[in-house]
Each structure stands twice: as C-alpha cells, then as structure tokens.
Amino acid sequence: MSLYHPNETSKTSKPNEPEVLPCPECGAEAMRRWRGECRLLDGFVIADLERWHCTACEEDFFDPQAMDKIAFLRKERSNSRLKLSKRVKEGNYV
Ligand SMILES: [Zn+2]
C-alpha cells in the first residue's frame, strides 16, 4: 500500500501557488501554466515553450523565463539562417 497518490496530491500541494489565474485579456479564471508548441504573432514557432495560456480566449502570456527563451531561440535561429545563406551563396559561386 502506498501513501502517494499522484492525482490527489496535485490538489493539496503548493497552496500558495494557484494553478489557475484570472486572465488579464478576457477576465476569465482560465489562465494556467501551459507547455507545448507556441506560434508567435510574427510566425516564429517554438516547439516546446512553457508559458501562461488562457484556455478561454486562447491568449498566451509570457513570464520573464519564457521571454528569455524566446530571445535566445530567436538569436539562435537568425545565426543558423546566416550560416545557411552563406553556404547557399558559396554553393552558387562554386
Ligand atoms: Zn483570456
């Protein structure tokens, strides 16, 4: 017999950290931690980003950690694009 029940502990653990927050966009108490693919307004897609997500209006909200990750991935993406375009150019000239 185990005293640990994963489904039950999630209800009682961390009472100071609410899992659902009111959404600043639509006001519904439906904003929660969300993890998965995230498409930004400019078409930039991040395969696995943890952020706040409102399940009522489908709006995404980014905390500082998420913003850092976006900035980091943008930089990395633009670096790899630079390398790729250089390679393509070299290929054209050879
Ligand atoms: Zn909302």
Domains identified in the chain and CATH numbers: 18-93 (3.10.20.860)
Q: What is the pTM of this model?
A: 0.63
CA 64 – ligand 1 centroid, Å:
19
pLDDT tens digits, one per residue of 40-58: 989 999 999 999 999 999 9
Output the six-digit token pair for 39.
């498409």
CA 36 – ligand 1 centroid, Å:
18
CA 19 – ligand 1 centroid, Å:
15
Q: What is the DSSP letter of 94?
A: -
pLDDT tens digits, one per residue of 59-76: 999 999 999 999 999 999
Q: What is the pLDDT of residue 25?
A: 96
CA 17 – ligand 1 centroid, Å:
19
Residue 3 identity: L
HSE value, Cβ hemisphere, 13 Å, CA-based, for 91: 6
For the chain, what percent of residues have pLDDT higher than 90?
A: 60
Residues 6+ apart with CB under 8 A from 60: 34, 38, 51, 52, 53, 54
CA 15 – ligand 1 centroid, Å:
23
Question: Can you tell me the distance from the alpha carbon of 92 to that of 42, in angstroms, rounded to the nearest whole number?
Answer: 30
